[in-house]
Structure 1
Amino acid sequence: MNFSTHLLRHFFMFSIWLLALPALAQKTEDELLQTQVRRFEAMIENDQTELEQLLASDLVYTHSNAVVENKQEFLATLKSQKLIYRSVQPDEVKVRLLGSVGIITGRADVVVEQEGKTNTLHLRFMDVYAKRKGHWQQVSWQSTRIPEQ
């Protein structure tokens, strides 16, 4: 094989790889969003086993009332039913991928029950995941209440 043929072959392979990148990125974004949906469902169902898998051991979870919890504290809060998630409806979701880190931002309407009262929270959020051992795990959550208009 002469040099020109060799170069052309590598160029062709590189072009195919470049064309595949957007599809790979879309697949990764979809995978990440599916993980977020699974986490929301596990919170609503208080599925401690599923949450154990989806939450990183070094989780920092900042609620919209500025309470900060680690993984064990967050799981204990859900298990005790001091805070019960009834529904989580994300909207205006955007995904950014930075290597093995995925950042999801958006709005969410969250219905919670706390101390016998049901509240609907309108939030802006940042949800951060890291891909570890082939699986996405939540490493950070930060939410802020949107003021009533």
Structure 2
Amino acid sequence: MRTFSLAAIALGALLSLPASADDRAALAGLLDSFLAATHKKEAHQRFWAEDLVYTSSSGKRFGKETILAGFDGGDSQPATTAYSAEEVDIRLLGDTAVVAFRLVAGEGPAGKPGTGSPAEYFNTGTFVKRDGQWRAIAWQATRIPAAE
């Protein structure tokens, strides 16, 4: 009986590996596609959970409704900043994940390298998987001071 239990545990661990790899890939793809389209309301609707708690780098706390209200009835804003994620660390905890990364915000249109000095932030997001879709439920952004 003990051999069967150990075999069942090992099999369960092996079967969960592809799901973990798939979830990591899904979260990485979600982050990349979001950063490429932050100027589009649709990207924010898809990325953020309805019950989001967002703490900005300026110390303000708000939710998804406030983010969407920033589009003032339009579906997009001018793409004046290009964003990219570096040093991405994805940690899976079942249907919850923590994604930490360095956000680089450069001047220039979204998707194109910036020409000015980039602003950098440490971002940490907590995601939940609901109905098969990952959504950010909590977010913390901290500006990284420029090197002297």
Decide whether aligned partners of structure 1 residues 13 and 92 sit closer, same or farther in structure 2, where only a CA change above 3 A counts: same
The amino acid across from 1:55 in the alignment is: W
Structure 1: runs of 5 or more not aligned: none
- How many correspondences in the alignment? 138
Kindly indicate whether residue 13 of structure 2 is the aligned counterpart of residue 18 of structure 1.
Answer: yes
Decide whether aligned partners of structure 1 residues 120 and 66 sit closer, same or farther in structure 2, where only a CA change above 3 A counts: farther
Q: Which has the higher strand share?
A: 1
Question: Residue by residue, what CA displacement relative to the aligned partner does 1:27-81 show, whole Å, maximum 9, x if unpaired?
Answer: 11111111112222231xx222332232111112222122222111112224578
Contact (CA 8 Å) 1:59, 1:139: kept in 2 or not? yes
Kindly indicate whether residue 54 of structure 2 is the aligned counterpart of residue 61 of structure 1.
Answer: yes
Query: What's the CA shift for 1:103?
Result: 0.6
Query: What's the CA shift for 1:146?
Result: 1.1
**For the residues of structure 1 that align with 2:66 and 2:127, how far apart are their CA atoms?**
19
**For the residues of structure 2 that align with 1:101 and 1:85, how far apart are their CA atoms?**
32
**For the residues of structure 1 that align with 2:117 and 2:56, how far apart are their CA atoms?**
14
**Counterpart in the other structure of 2:125:** 127
Query: What's the CA shift for 1:132?
Result: 0.9
Decide whether aligned partners of structure 1 residues 51 and 8 sit closer, same or farther in structure 2, where only a CA change above 3 A counts: same
Q: Which has the higher helix share?
A: 1
RMSD: 2.9
SS at match of 1:64: coil
Kindly indicate whether residue 91 of structure 2 is the aligned counterpart of residue 96 of structure 1.
Answer: yes
**Counterpart in the other structure of 1:27:** 22
Question: Residue by residue, what CA displacement relative to the aligned partner does 1:3-42 show, whole Å, maximum 9, x if unpaired?
Answer: x9xx978866654443333332121111111111222223
The amino acid across from 1:31 in the alignment is: A
Counting only pairs closer than 5 Å after superposition, residues 129-144 of structure 1 correspond to structure 2 as: 129-144=127-142
**Counterpart in the other structure of 2:101:** 106
**For the residues of structure 1 that align with 2:89 and 2:11, how far apart are their CA atoms?**
27
Q: Which of the pair has more CA radius of gyration?
A: 1
TM-score scaled by structure 2? 0.75
**For the residues of structure 1 that align with 2:117 and 2:59, how far apart are their CA atoms?**
17
The amino acid across from 2:45 in the alignment is: E
TM-score scaled by structure 1? 0.74
Query: What's the CA shift for 1:133?
Result: 1.1
Query: What's the CA shift for 1:110?
Result: 1.4
